[in-house]
Structure 1
Amino acid sequence: MTKTITQAELRNGSAGVMDALEAGDDFIITRNGHPVGELRPVRAKRDITTADLKARFARFAAAGTAVEERAEIDAAFGEDRLDD
């Protein structure tokens, strides 16, 4: 559940915010009534074996060109890029 709290509530109630984060709550932090940031719990990362990774990426090996490979990767993971 996302809660909206002010900068002062974050500062004065940080222990409670931390407890809520551990319980899975998300927060939008506001300053002067305007949203300025988000706090959300860190999601646990899974340990993935090499065999799992190879299986996940095996379908990309079938792409014939770099352009086809990129299209396959974009289709699987989305098109977010930093340097377009």
Structure 2
Amino acid sequence: MVEVTVRELRNDGGRVLDRVERGESLTVTRDGHPVAELRPLARRPLRASALLSRWRGLAHVDAARLKADIDDTLDSSL
């Protein structure tokens, strides 16, 4: 786990929290000794109704057309 000092947390708290928000876990140290951990909060799970609503809003994918597009894009000799 990466360490940040109390001074760094005080002086650059916004940047430190940006790192945590991006998923990084940090140990806060004072005089070289670990005193706390900062870690991202677990994300709240979505309800089934929200997932179904999102799923219904997805565009239809034509499998044959997708395969043709991939075949046109990729070099089949590899």
TM-score by length of 1: 0.52
Aligned to 1:38: 37
Q: Of the two, which has the highest radius of gyration?
A: 2
Q: Which runs of 5+ in 1 are unaligned?
A: 50-84
Q: C-alpha separation between the residues in 1 aligned to 2:47 and 2:34?
A: 36
Aligned to 2:2: 3
Aligned to 1:15: 14
How many residues end up aligned between the 2 structures? Answer: 48
Mapping of residues 43-82 of structure 1, within 5 Å: 43-47=42-46
Q: Which runs of 5+ in 2 are unaligned?
A: 49-78
2:27 paired with 1:28: yes
RMSD: 1.5
Q: C-alpha separation between the residues in 2 aligned to 1:43 and 1:4?
A: 21
Deviation at 1:10, TM superposition (A): 0.5
Deviations 1:33-82 (A, max 9, x none): 10000000111021567xxxxxxxxxxxxxxxxxxxxxxxxxxxxxxxxx
Deviation at 1:4, TM superposition (A): 0.3
Q: C-alpha separation between the residues in 1 aligned to 2:10 and 2:18?
A: 14
**Which aligned runs of 4 or more in structure 1 are off by greater than 3 angstroms?**
none
